[in-house]
Amino acid sequence: MQTRFHGLFLILGLVISQHAGAAEWDSQSSNFQIRTFRGGPNAQQLLEQCERLRLDLQQVWLSEADRRDWSPRCQVIVHATKASYQTAVGGGGAQTSGSSLVQASRGVIVNRRIDLLYDAKKGASALPHELTHIVLADRFEDGHPPRWLDEGIATMADSQEKRTLHHRDCHDALRSGDALRVVQLLRLEQFTSAKQVPAFYGQSLSLVHFLAEQDEPTKLIDFAEAAIERGYDRALRDIYQIEGIEELERRWRKYAWNTGARAPQSLVSFVR
Ligand SMILES: [Zn+2]
């Protein structure tokens, strides 16, 4: 099974061209293989940044037993042009600057890959978000957490500016009545209308904050895993002592109204 996560949208079952040959890496470490371009970011510095970010993300979201070395390593390809980036990630990535791919076979991850579109001013700014998807994949049998959790947690690694916009989207959706019901948010796999997109990202980020404040952040992953095994109502009771999705809806909405449009401090320390 494979799913490709673009910076903004999700495309299921997309087959991509593997145009990065095995011998073409500019820099390699135990967990990453980097390919950049002439005039682009320094491969060795990017490699060190990837290793640091991976460690930081693992420390926040994964328990110690889940912090394993990656085999296969994660391929990181930095593209100089939009044309090259889109050829690699497919048409669904047209509005994005980062994309991640995890493929799993029989419960084992067989491919990890990140494509980044380089920007002279912002650099490879999508890296922390996309790398979060790759880190979280380690805890799930098919490599894919529920979408709201995956995007909510990955969005915590975005810049302050981006997170502020997502929180504003959440607040606007609540005020306009366009907010998704929590039961809908938890099960959303594919968008069916354009206005769901800002509400989904904003609410996912807000819900992740709410749950992460109830207990240790690593419990969020236990919670998602338990929900896959025995449903959300049971998982909410077992992990957070919340009496099912309806009570979660009530408590989260109260939290979100009280939070307002401001962005709470991210739990990921490297975010400024
Ligand atoms: Zn994402």
Mean of per-residue pLDDT scores for the chain: 90
**Residue 134 phi, psi dihedral angles, 5° rounding:** -70, -40
Query: What would the mean pLDDT of 145-165 be, rounded to a whole number?
Result: 95
| Residue 252 near residue 212 (C-beta atoms within 8 A) | no
Ligand 1 centroid–CA 25 distance in Å is: 25
Ligand 1 centroid–CA 173 distance in Å is: 20
Show me where the domains of the chain are located.
2-144, 160-259
pLDDT tens sequence across 98-115: 999 999 999 999 999 999
Q: Output the six-digit token pair for 19.
A: 């145009």
Pairwise CA distance, residues 126 & 113, whole Å: 13
Ligand 1 centroid–CA 221 distance in Å is: 16
pLDDT tens sequence across 185-233: 999 988 988 889 999 999 999 999 999 999 999 999 999 999 999 999 9
Query: What's the pLDDT band for 20 if we cut at 50, 70, 90?
Result: very low
Ligand 1 centroid–CA 99 distance in Å is: 8
Ligand 1 centroid–CA 6 distance in Å is: 6
Pairwise CA distance, residues 166 & 170, whole Å: 6
Quick one: which of 231, 229, 214, 221 has its CA closest to 65? 221
Ligand 1 centroid–CA 154 distance in Å is: 6
| Residue 87 near residue 17 (C-beta atoms within 8 A) | yes
Ligand 1 centroid–CA 82 distance in Å is: 19
Ligand 1 centroid–CA 148 distance in Å is: 10
| Residue 135 near residue 217 (C-beta atoms within 8 A) | no
Ligand 1 centroid–CA 239 distance in Å is: 25
| pLDDT for 24 beyond 90 | no
Ligand 1 centroid–CA 55 distance in Å is: 19
